[in-house]
Structure formats: C-alpha cells, structure tokens
C-alpha cells in the first residue's frame, strides 16, 4: 500500500494539461509534437482518448516532444514524414532536438567523383 500512496501523491502533484492546448500534432503518424509554448517538466499531457504523456524535461517553445519511445536508429516522424533518425534511444516525453536526432531532410545522395 505504501507504493500506491506514494504514486497517487506524485500523480496528484503533477500539473495535467490538455494535449492540444500545449502541442501541435501535424499528422496522425507523427511520433513527435511541437510545443505551442514552453512546457514544464513533470507536466502530464492528456490525450483525448485517455492516453497520458509525462513531460520528462522542460520543452522550449517550438521544440519537439517525443510521443513514443524511439529506438537508436529509429525514425523521427513529423508531418507524416521521416525528418531524421535517433542517434540514441529517446524516451516517451523527452525533448527531441539536435542532441538526440540526426536530421535527414534535404540530404541527397552524394555522387562520387573520380
């Protein structure tokens, strides 16, 4: 019972926010969303169908937050398209930025020169 009480205290102390008031989801396939304003760590984002995402660290305005776990090498998807790949595992609710993603947009294949 001690664990349950502690868990309920933590859950009650978290600020719960409506998902769509805090972030923009560009496409249903996306595994990241963009912050409409800064989001504090420990905020609990509540999706319309009941899913919740705990924000692990502060997410600055216009930065991305992970909506799912993304394995190392896994795709980062925004606008329904792959925009990069994770250079390390990314946890649910974590900031997604240059420290954990390598961008792929605009990178064409290089032509070998002799």
Model confidence over 39-74: pLDDT tens digits? 999 999 998 888 899 999 999 999 999 999 999 999
- The answer to the question of residue 5 being in a domain is no
What domain range includes position 28? Answer: 15-103
- The answer to the question of residue 21 being in a domain is yes
pLDDT score, position 20: 86
- The answer to the question of residue 35 being in a domain is yes
pLDDT score, position 14: 57
- The answer to the question of residue 1 being in a domain is no
- The answer to the question of residue 91 being in a domain is yes
In percent, how much of the chain has pLDDT > 70?
78
Write phi, then psi, for 14 (nearest 5 degrees).
Answer: -80, 145
Residue 33 has pLDDT above 80, yes or no: yes
- The answer to the question of residue 47 being in a domain is yes
The enclosing domain of 97 has a CATH number of 2.30.130.110
Residue 111 has pLDDT above 60, yes or no: no
- pTM for this predicted structure: 0.78
Please say whether the beta carbons of 53 and 92 come within 8 A. yes
- Produce one character per residue of 17-56: b if its CB has 16 or more CB atoms within 10 Å, e if not: bebeebbeeeeeebbbbbbeeebeeebebbeeeeeebebb
- The answer to the question of residue 67 being in a domain is yes
- The answer to the question of residue 94 being in a domain is yes
- Give the count of domains, the chain: 1
């Amino acid at each position: 019972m001690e664990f349950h009480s502690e868990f309920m205290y933590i859950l009650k102390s978290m600020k719960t926010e409506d998902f769509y008031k805090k972030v923009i989801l560009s496409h249903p396939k996306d595994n990241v969303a963009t912050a409409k304003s800064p989001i504090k760590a420990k905020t609990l984002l509540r999706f319309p169908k009941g899913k919740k995402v705990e924000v692990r660290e502060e997410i600055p305005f216009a930065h991305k937050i992970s909506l799912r776990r993304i394995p190392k090498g896994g795709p980062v998807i925004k606008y329904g398209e792959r925009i990069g790949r994770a250079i390390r595992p990314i946890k649910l609710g974590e900031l997604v930025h240059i420290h954990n993603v390598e961008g792929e947009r605009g990178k064409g294949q290089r032509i070998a020169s002799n």
